[in-house]
Amino acid sequence: MEGVEHRIVKVNGINMHFAEKGQGPVILFVHGFPELWYSWRHQIAALSSKGYRAVAPDLRGYGDTDAPDSVTCYTCFHIVGDLVELLNTIAPDEQVFVVGHDWGAIIAWYLCLFRPDKVKAVFTLSVPFTPRNPQMKPTDGWRAVYGNDYYICRFQEYGEVEAEFAEMGTETVMKSLLTYKVPDPLMLPKGKPFGHSVNTPITLPSWLSEEEVNYYVTKFNKSGFTGVINYYRNFDRNWELMAPWGGCEVKVAAKFVVGDVDLVYYMPGMKEYIHNGGFKKEVPMLEEVVVMEGVGHFIHMEKPDEINNLIYDFFHQFD
């Protein structure tokens, strides 16, 4: 990627890698699972050309950023702490724009909740802010609805899915995840993850090349999957830690975009929450919800031009 600079800075006790390009107001791009800074390649190119400084880190556990060994080092406070220290290092005293997708959206919402002083406006993809349910731990809820084969439930047992992924091979795992485009929940039954055999050929969509997949494969071959799956192993721990913020609203200007074939959009009660006032109640400064027809989970890669324009149009009003 032409003109992209790569840097490593010490934040919160770890070495964090990030890519950046452009001059102007900072847009912090926060990736999801199983991704990297590289997932924002189209946005970095477009927004840096329109007068913004695009900054895209590899989150802890990913790519060229350190991956601490302990599961407990991957709570929402660790991840948000990394990003706050990154911003303090590279853009001190500046309120920034934030874009988050998937886990990156979850982290972006947490950043807005904990440090609204740091965020000028937030643009999230795929995952809306959802309030904490004080009656039930998240994994108990998912297990009750989907059963033990649901991917988040399978991820809870340390080392188990990592062994299965190792057997499948990183390339098959990455292709299976990045090409997942059905509105059904992602199931990883033992012995047959993703519902197909290891030898089943996977056809890549037009928006994802073999060369692009190979970049992910190279990085995940190096880092493994334990660090990134540890995010999921902290859902219940985050739930416990977040009790003091129960009932708090996100008070940052926000915009939300989701594809209508995204599995998240079809989680029980999600459509109703997004469209019938629940989401707006929790995020009072939510300006707009955009549902993109025929688009799956990796919306920023599948429809980069549309997403780039939506990001620019939203943030431009705050310049």
Q: Which of 17, 78, 101, 297 is catalytic?
A: 297
How buried is 134 (Cβ within 10 angstroms: 0-12 exposed, 13-18 middle, 19+ buried)? Answer: exposed
The yes-or-no answer on residue 231 being catalytic is: no
Q: What is the C-alpha R_g of the chain?
A: 18
The gap from C-alpha 180 to its chain's centroid, in whole angstroms, comes to 15
- Paired tokens of 206: 């037009």
Q: CA angle, corner 99, sides to 94 and 103, nearest 5?
A: 120
The yes-or-no answer on residue 102 being catalytic is: yes
Q: Which of 58, 64, 66, 102 is catalytic?
A: 102
Distances in Å between the Cα of 117 and the Cα atoms of 109, 125, 129, 140 are 13, 22, 18, 34
The yes-or-no answer on residue 232 being catalytic is: yes
Tell me which residue of 264, 318, 270, 271 sits closest to 295, measured CA to CA. 264
Residue whose tokens read 């995010």: 231
Helix, strand, coil shares of the chain as percentages rounded to 5? 45, 15, 40
Q: Which of 38, 231, 232, 265 is catalytic?
A: 232
* Residues classed as catalytic: 102, 232, 297
